Amino acid sequence: MRLEDRTVVITGAASGIGRATAERCAEEGARVVVTDIDSDGGEAVADAIEADGGEAVFYDLDVTDADQFHAVVEEVAESYGLDVLVNNAGTGHPGASLENVDDSIRDFVIDVNVKGVWNGCHAALPRMKEQGHGSIVNVGSLASILGLPKQAAYSMTKGAVLNLTRAVAAEAGPYGVRANTVCPGFTDTQLLEQYLAQRDDPEKAREEMAEEYPLKRLADPEEIANAILFLASEEASFVSGHGLVVDGGFSTC
């Protein structure tokens, strides 16, 4: 098992990529710490993992609250240890030209997508540096490497996540800590459903989106989870500061 006796903290783990990652890590022997602002959903994920024979615990966590993030990480580290942090929690915004994006929406996206990742790294790094090992996996996006039209705020934040990851990798590497980013293409999650719901014909929009990919389909959350699992594990022991693009070939077109 690739994560046997390892403790993995995952943000935004109540659904989508986060849930799939929690389940895959548990299958690989990890003690999974499920965190989310959705308490009911997060507890359900932890309960399902335990029912399947895995080990999981749920913590309520708003990633924009730095004090809460530090408290959760400290409690987890003292109780279970801390080997991997997956900064998965994120949000999007309705499609709009940059000049039409309200400041409050911009600020909220920055708070979740950038400050949330910063808060996680800020909380976990002292412990990981002190113990001399650790892996941080941040969830970026195709928008980390491509500017998406009418998604300026989202693109800005996901670009920041990738470069923050590089900075963390350069700084923490001498302490035995790795940091990487997974950059998924469009994935079949609630966030995608919210994005498609803005279209006149969501199902047609989904089909047209899939046609833009060389593989002619969108990603399943489990496919992104597998990439996260690889970067979290010792199979990626010499991979750090990397943005792993998991986009079905979209960025090659």
135 and 192 both lie in a single domain? no
Question: 151 and 201: one domain?
Answer: no
Cα gap 175→173, rounded to integer Å: 5
- Mean pLDDT across 204-230: 94
Is the pLDDT reported for residue 190 higher than 90? no
The conformational region for residue 48 under phi > 0 = left, psi -120 to 50 = alpha, else beta, is: alpha
- Asked whether residue 197 carries a pLDDT value surpassing 90, the answer given is no
Residues 214, 167: one domain?
Answer: no
Statement to judge: residues 198 and 177 lie in one domain:
no
Q: What is the pLDDT of residue 169?
A: 98
Q: What is the pLDDT of residue 201?
A: 86
Which one, of 165, 104, 106, lies nearest residue 136 by Cα? 165
Phi and psi of 166, rounded to 5°? -60, -40
Task: Say what the pLDDT of residue 192 is.
Answer: 77
Answer whether residue 196 shows pLDDT above 80: no
Q: Is 59 a catalytic residue?
A: no
pLDDT at residue 202 in the model: 84
Which of the four pLDDT bands, split at 50, 70 and 90, describes residue 102? very high
pLDDT at 29: 98
Percent of the chain with pLDDT over 90: 87
Whether residue 159 is found in the same domain as residue 226: yes
* Per-residue pLDDT tens digits for 132-176: 999 999 999 999 999 989 899 999 999 999 999 999 999 999 999
Instruction: Mark whether 19 and 119 lie in a shared domain.
Output: yes
Burial of 4 (0-12, 13-18, 19+ CB in 10 A): exposed
For residues 38-65, give the mean pLDDT: 98
Catalytic residue, candidates 59, 80, 154, 213: 154
Whether residue 120 sits in one domain with residue 95 = yes
Q: Is residue 109 part of a domain?
A: yes
Residues 193 and 128 occupy one common structural domain = no
Domain with residue 142: its CATH number is 3.40.50.720
- Which tokens is 25 given? 């890590």
Instruction: Count other C-beta atoms under 10 Å from residue 202's C-beta.
Output: 14
Residue 195 has pLDDT above 90, yes or no: no
Instruction: Provide the domain count of the chain.
Output: 2
pLDDT at 198 over 90: no
pLDDT of residue 94: 85
Question: Is residue 250 in a domain?
Answer: no
Among 69-73, 130-134, 236-240, 249-253, where is mean pLDDT lowest? Answer: 249-253
Which pLDDT score, from 0 to 100, does residue 110 have? 98
Whether residues 98 and 133 fall in one domain: yes
Same domain membership, residue 235 and residue 214: no
Residues 52 and 175 in one domain: yes
- Whether residue 228 is contained in a domain is answered as yes
- Name the average pLDDT for the chain: 96
CB atoms within 10 A of CB 186: 22
Length of the chain: 253
Both structure tokens of 227: 């990439």
Domain range holding 20?
7-184+220-240
Residues 212, 234 share a domain: no
**Which residue, 39, 5, 4, 30, is CA-closest to 225?**
30
